[in-house]
């Protein structure tokens, strides 16, 4: 096991941290870096050997494609082909949400190694809203492939310390940029121009911080329910984002039947007894996503942190209280369902 170093990227140290991370990427190393969504495990997107190290460190199957991050819209032409029929929509979406947590699936450029896209003819592209990440990309001068910096299928990391719990000894460097602002992985979409229709069809393949309501300004939006063992885009596997501790979800609170002698924790939305879960059982530990207030934005930011806290409690199972499936609630429930899926 090799040593994993953490370097700070706070205001005083940011320039040196960016230079060190970019130099490591240029040499074909992999580096954990902050984004506004979760921490990513970065590699030079055009270096297939470096990308292979990402798959190895995460124990990620080669059939699960990666997201490629560009430092500016000008770099899009380096990684993707922009079809004429959807070019206007892509530019409008990029203008509204880039830099930010929106990933667009497009035909891939020949420059992108097949390993990055798992052999698919398309590539997932976004421009991160995190200034540290974008600065590293600019210093490198090449696009960056970066899935979440965790073991495959596990809880996504939203802090440098969480990255260390997942990948210490597996990677050489972690850039500590503090806690992630969004806390949920990016929204992933495809765009289809339909003959005879004024608005394009936008398919949401993975719900995220950019919501259906926000996307509806740009086209007709459909949230795909497709789950596949062989995904044709990132974020489509049924079981994902999961703690080691089994996570349980129920249609209604009364369906919970605790087994004698087992220790249960509750992942509550806001700790409100009226939801029917808080007083349902003598929980070993209760963690709240948005204590008292029930704000979906706060819940999204805290979701993976709270899951990790409960996972480290030595429980037999975690019971997750559902949240309203409106706005960001769609993405939160997507992560909870995948975390509770059979493994």
pLDDT at 233: 82
pLDDT band at 343 (very low <50, low <70, confident <90, very high): confident
Alpha-carbon gap, residue 339 to 343, rounded angstroms = 9
Tokens of 247: 């996570």
- 164-218: pLDDT as tens digits: 999 999 999 999 999 999 999 999 999 999 877 889 999 999 999 999 999 999 9
- Looking at residue 229, its pLDDT comes to 64
% of the chain residues with pLDDT over 90? 90
Contact 221, 202 (CB under 8 A): yes
Domains, the chain, with CATH or none: 5-76+114-176 (3.90.870.10), 247-340 (3.40.50)
Q: What mean pLDDT is predicted for residues 63-75? A: 96
| Span 7-26, pLDDT tens digits | 999 989 999 999 999 999 99
């Amino acid at each position: 096991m090799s040593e994993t170093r953490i370097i700070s990227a706070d205001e005083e140290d940011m320039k040196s941290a960016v230079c060190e991370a970019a130099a490591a990427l240029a040499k074909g190393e992999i580096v954990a870096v902050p984004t506004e969504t979760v921490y990513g495990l970065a590699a030079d997107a055009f270096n297939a050997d470096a990308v292979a190290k990402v798959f190895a460190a995460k124990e990620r199957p080669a059939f699960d494609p990666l997201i490629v991050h560009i430092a500016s819209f000008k770099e899009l032409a380096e990684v993707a082909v922009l079809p004429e029929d959807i070019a206007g929509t892509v530019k409008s979406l990029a203008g509204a949400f880039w830099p930010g947590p929106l990933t667009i699936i497009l035909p891939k450029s020949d420059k992108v190694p097949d390993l990055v896209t798992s052999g698919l003819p398309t590539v997932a592209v976004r421009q991160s809203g995190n200034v540290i990440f974008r600065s590293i990309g600019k210093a490198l001068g090449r696009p960056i492939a970066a899935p979440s910096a965790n073991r495959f299928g596990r809880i996504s990391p939203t802090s440098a310390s969480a990255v260390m719990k997942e990948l210490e000894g597996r990677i050489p460097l972690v850039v500590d940029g503090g806690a992630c602002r969004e806390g949920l992985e990016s929204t992933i979409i495809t765009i289809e121009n339909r003959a005879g229709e004024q608005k394009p069809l936008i398919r949401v393949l993975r719900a995220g911080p950019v919501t259906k309501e926000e996307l509806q300004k740009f086209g007709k939006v459909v949230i795909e329910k497709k789950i596949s063992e062989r995904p044709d885009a990132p974020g489509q596997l049924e079981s994902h984002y999961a703690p080691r501790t089994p996570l349980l979800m129920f249609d209604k609170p009364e369906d919970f039947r605790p087994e004698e002698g087992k220790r249960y924790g509750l992942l509550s939305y806001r700790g409100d007894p009226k939801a029917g879960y808080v007083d349902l059982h003598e929980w070993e530990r209760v963690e709240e996503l948005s204590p008292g207030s029930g704000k979906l934005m706060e819940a999204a930011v805290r979701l993976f942190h709270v899951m990790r806290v409960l996972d480290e409690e030595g429980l037999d199972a975690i019971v997750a209280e559902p949240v309203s499936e409106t706005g960001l609630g769609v993405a939160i429930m997507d992560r909870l369902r995948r975390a509770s899926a059979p493994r």
